[in-house]
Amino acid sequence: MPIHDSLVNALSNVVRSLFASIGEVGDLLKSLREVEVFELRVPSDSPPVVAAGDSSWALRTHAMVLVYAVQSVAIRVSPGRAESTERLVDADAGYFIPSQHVGDATADEVVMRAIQFISKRLEVSALTKVSEGADISLFDGSIFSFLWYSKFPEIPSSLKSFKNRPSRFRDIWREVVVGVRSIATSGVIPLFIAKSVRRSYYVDRLSSPDLLQKLGDRANDLVLIELMRRIGWLPKKALVLEPVHISSFKDMPRPLNSLDLEDRSLLEPLIPITVTYVIFNPSAHAFQVTIPGKWSLEELAEVLSRLYPYSHSGYPDPLRVAHNLSKISNRELRYLLLKLGVSSIPTGRELLGEFV
């Protein structure tokens, strides 16, 4: 594909602005208060039994129909056993035909959100099954991304799925919440590991009102942590940072802070929620960890140290394996559909030289 000079110039300006903004944030860190940390240590006992899960989805848009595919993989790693790794794979697929009636058009956002909900449902279902007998269960993403609630009332009836599914977003959301609850109340420790953040919890806590005003929207938790590492405010070791506790519904991110009483009752066993950040390898960046319950820094250090033998590369290996095994790309879906004969359904882009 051609890359023109105008795009290169636009990206150059954006990159310069980005680095300038980060540099200004670094200059403001002088008034940031210190953060308490706890060093991770390799435990003396054997590594725990760890379950991990992930899911992936892809879609292909044709002129008259959209086809999607979802794939989930959950594994359980049991060190010292002959069959050290168990694997559970599940999948779903479907299609969406836009309505022929002008007044019944479905927004793309609704279709995409439905596919994402179906993916999370499949992921949690598989992970729930392999978590039996595990010590720690790893989720890919923040707990809030799994508990996120959609206000859309119904999934479009024209979105057809291979598996039976409820017709409402709320019903799929409840299945996901019940699955997370079942793991959290079974004696297994559920750890939610997020590679990026949608909401910051440390910026407000570590900043004075004056600093917060100067920072504006130029910094999030990961930006602050990375800058603190660069200037030597954090030791170059594997460590966990002091926790932040979400103790009530009013402190939950939207729209979870405005659920009705019936839906709140489903979430109550998961609250309070602890938010922290962990660095498994000094050469890798920090990851956000969210976990149901109110955990102290010492308790977090203990459980994350148990996970440390799996995470010397900087990221928990069970999650890495689950991610790689579940990943499906739009390109792979395109060629799979070609093999299955979907080439007879036009995409509308054939005259541009683009085929299935």
Q: Is residue 72 part of a domain?
A: yes
Report the residue count for the chain: 356
Q: Per residue in 88-100, pLDDT tens?
A: 999 999 888 776 6
Residue entry with tokens 């992936």 = 56
The pLDDT of residue 186 is 92
pLDDT top residue among 350 and 85: 85
| Residue 351 falls inside a structural domain | no
Please state which of the ranges 32-41, 147-156, 205-214, 335-344 shows the lowest mean pLDDT.
Answer: 205-214
**Axis crossing angle, helix 169-184 with helix 108-130, rounded to the nearest 10:** 30
- pLDDT by residue (tens digit) across 249-271? 888 888 888 888 888 888 889 99
336: in domain: yes
Q: How confident is the model at residue 134 (pLDDT cuts 50, 70, 90)?
A: very high
Whether 205 maps to a domain, the answer reads yes
- Enclosing domain of residue 157: 37-344
Backbone phi and psi for residue 158, each to the nearest 5 degrees, phi listed first: -80, 0
Cα separation, 59 vs 177, in Å, equals 26
Q: Which pLDDT does position 351 carry in this prediction? A: 38
Residue 193 domain-assigned (yes or no): yes
pLDDT of residue 83: 54
Query: What is the distance between the alpha carbons of residues 91 and 88, in angstroms, rounded to a whole number?
Result: 10
CA-CA-CA-CA torsion for 8, 12, 13, 16, nearest 10 degrees?
170
Asked if residue 312 belongs to a domain, the reply is yes
d(CA 158, CA 104): 11
% of the chain with per-residue pLDDT over 70: 85
- Whether 6 is covered by a domain: the verdict is no
Quick one: pLDDT at residue 82?
47
| Stretch (H or E) spanning 70 | strand 66-77
Q: For 280-329, what is each residue's pLDDT tens digit? A: 998 888 999 999 999 999 999 999 999 999 998 999 999 999 999 999 88
Q: At how many degrees (to 10) do helices 221-230 and 5-28 cross?
A: 70
- pLDDT > 60? residue 355: no
Count of structural domains, the chain: 1
